[in-house]
Structure 1
Amino acid sequence: MDSVLEVLCGHADDARRAEEGGADRVHLVAQAGSGELSPAPDVVAQVCAATHLPVRVTLRLREGWTTDGGEVTRLRGLAAAYLDAGAEGMVMGFLDQWSAIDTDVCATVAGDAGWPWTFDRAVDQCLDFDHAWVALRRLPGLDQVMSAGSARDVEHGLDDLVERARTDRWAAEKLIAAGGLQPEHVPWLHRAGIRAFHVDAQVRPLGSFRAWVDAGLVHSWRDLLDRSDRRAG
């Protein structure tokens, strides 16, 4: 299986550069590096028109990991608008008051629409990781889980990510490693069976979200993953 490289983007120019560098997918947010909230539907349309890559869009209307009944209808409406604009799927994740996955809200938003989606790094904020991973299996349409293995970053969660992937084939197939991912982490994650990787500041000059995605930096990650795939093959 070839590794998937996903790039966080905030606008059409980011997406074009991500594709030029060899990315496989765009994760679109309203403003990269600033809370990762939902963008306007017209921005989604602009990005989808600018790239041939599949685009997944964040569904979140406020900072934090919770939502309420009043927002669920708006979230479902946004998802429909994003699909109409050309998005492939969504990125979302909501927790309840006990810092556990809010399966009711997630299932209601996903509904029976049939679009694929990624559970975002809200999973890393759960108090009981093992319980969270059991809950994830019940969510309709879910095909990836974004995680650093810890609430901080991959550097602090690497051992947990590797262990989960090695002991749970379902988790290994769903995981997309994200959150301060560095090149030296890739061999360990790859050997554990993880084949999806998310980058954000790593592909921007000086690691600054004020800079646009740089195609050359994206290509360096593409090359790293391709070399890992060839060694595994």
Structure 2
Amino acid sequence: LVLSQDDVNYYEYMINSGFASKLVATKNGIKNEYIDANGKTSVGNYDLVPIVDEFIKDHPDFSYRGDKGTLAVTGYNGVLGYRTSVSQYGDTAKTKRETKKALKVVAALKSDGWNFASHSWGHLNMKTSSVADVKLDTDRWEKEVQPVVGKTNILIFPFGADIGDWQGYQDNNEKFAYLRQKGFEIYENVDASHMSWGEMTTKYYRQARINVDGIRMTDDLNGTNSVLNPFFNTSEVIDSTNRNK
């Protein structure tokens, strides 16, 4: 089982929408900060990371060799809820403070079994974008995000949009050539047509992920796609009281 979460950035558009606002390092481990509609701030298990951490306390065998999961981050709004992007917010004292806070959280996450992946800088659809745009975006991620989360060899495609087809990455694929040059060796797309598949070559490893989200759960409940069935029963975990809201 490969567990990953995309967009662990707590974007600006999420403010006042019921989402957590950031990840924070506390004496009780990594938690989320959450600000309710009245402006009250709470710290607790409001997103994937602390929920998985709590689960593993009771089920340590779920964490194979201490590994927990991979967090895929973009960079245009900063990372983990901290506004670290210099190109977005400027090279200011505030940006530096935010970066320092983010570095502390990243260190705590890594020491506790969490890994990081690139999700591109600007949530770029690498399949439809030009080679020039892929290069520009990758360079910006390397410049702004890598210094915060560290170097990674994992690329999780935004939108699950792969740069190759079923035949894999050919030698004339300029996007792959550049990404490989930048150190990426593991490529993750989204494919809910099968429970799992992977492709290993001497140059890369590529595999599919299943999007566990509202779209996939709705398909499961409607009977149009049952790919989640080996993992859990959707009708037992979904909040049916809010399904039509």
Q: Name the TM tier (shorter chain).
A: 0.3 to 0.5
Structure number with higher relative contact order (C-alpha < 8 Å, ≥ 6 residues apart): 1
Larger Cα Rg: Structure 1 or Structure 2? Answer: 2
Structure number with higher helix proportion: 1
